[in-house]
Amino acid sequence: MQNISFGELFAPARTSAKSLGQGEFLFRQGDPSSSLYTVLAGGVRLVRYTLEGNAVVMHTARPGDSLAEASLFSEIYHCDAEAVLPSIVACYDKGKILAMLREHPEKSLTCIALFARQVRSLRALLEVRSIRSARDRVLHYLLLQADPVTMEMSIPAGSLKAMALKLAMAHETLYRTLANLESEGKINRNASIIKIHH
């Protein structure tokens, strides 16, 4: 089954695009859910709050990523969606998506495959986050993300802070760990690529 993005799969359900300023909310927890989204530019984080008011980042969606998939079968959104950068999101009508899934079994199977890939990716990330050593955590993550042939991982501009968030570590810790791995000869890096050496 071909790898297809959420935006490609549900293009007929796209209704509009919305611009968000940094810190602006796309939706808030408890709002009625009427749309699903993909990020076209910028970044949008999904946040929930503890009883003490501390923010817990569930996911940060970057360009090409979809968000609010869980609301497909819910009447409300389960968290806040906040732009971490000036952002543009594409909006997809939830009712139209559900109708497409009912009427086209092949789209339903493709959607299941898409969501299954997301689950595998999240499970791999949870596995990485369970590694206590910062060095081993970063190295394991790089191995998971690197192309298996070239052993290279692309680093989009400004994404090291996003990587630190994914790995649940301070960005200073990530920078220091990458520098240490480079000095050990485990990796080479420039502004856009990290190459892993066996």
pLDDT one-digit tens code per residue, 21-32? 999 999 999 999
Domain CATH for 35: 2.60.120.10
Residues 138 and 182 in one domain: yes
- Tell me, what's the pLDDT at 117? 87
pTM above 0.95, yes or no: no
Highest mean pLDDT: which range of 48-57, 64-73, 89-98, 159-168 = 89-98
Asked if 85 and 19 count as a contact pair (C-beta separation under 8 A), the reply is no
Domain CATH for 175: 1.10.10.10
**Containing domain of residue 191, as a range?**
131-196
Q: Which helix (H) or strand (E) holds 144?
A: helix 134-145
pLDDT one-digit tens code per residue, 151-165? 998 886 557 877 887
Q: Give every CB contact of residue 145 below 8 A, 6+ residues apart in sequence.
A: 153
Q: Is residue 15 in some structural domain?
A: yes
Tally of domains in the chain: 2
**Residue 195: strand pairing partners:** 152, 188
Residues 22 and 91 in one domain: yes
What are the tokens at 101?
């899934």
Q: Is residue 117 in some structural domain?
A: no
